[in-house]
Amino acid sequence: MGFGIVKITDLSGDACKIYSVARDDSEDTLLELFLDEFDSQYPKQIDEIINKLRFMGLEGGAREGFFRENEGKPGDGVVALLNAPHFPLRLYGIRFGTSLLILGSGGKKGIHTRTWQQDSKLKSSAEQMIRLSALITQRIKDKEITLASDGSIIGNKHFEEDL
């Protein structure tokens, strides 16, 4: 089972292009599944996440201050979206400068959870982004994918591998 990287047009704009991952066996992206999973339990935080992403896409770009950096391996660009401290949700992605953001999924960080490695759902979500970063990096090296200056991903955005 493979997956593709798809642009989220409702959130993307001139400042930043926002993408997510869609598995071949699902019509929804990982971002949509994350938002749907937590919307009823954390509607305020989900609204804040959507508003922050929309602001990044249209005006602000994917600036460092919006993310907890270095969530993956050194240099892989894996980040967690920063939210208000009292909100427990974590959303993982890959940031390429300020003009490109690829979002995956995440989960709820419990009060006794210090790192994503301590929670199986957070660990799975973060590791998906670490794996995706490695796959994209290889495609860039192989010249199968180009990252345009406007944040667009040009080339083969479908992967036969499983995350």
Q: How many domains does the chain have?
A: 1
C-alpha to C-alpha distances, 71 to 78, 89, 148, 154, nearest whole angstrom: 5, 15, 24, 26
Domain limits for position 118: 3-159
pLDDT for 109 beyond 90: no
| Residues 85 and 79: beta-carbon distance below 8 Å | no
Q: What is the pTM of this model?
A: 0.92
Q: 141 by DSSP, 3-state: which?
A: helix
pLDDT for 119 equals 67
pLDDT tens across 134-152, in order? 999 999 999 999 999 999 9
Predicted confidence band at 160 (pLDDT cuts at 50, 70, 90)? very high
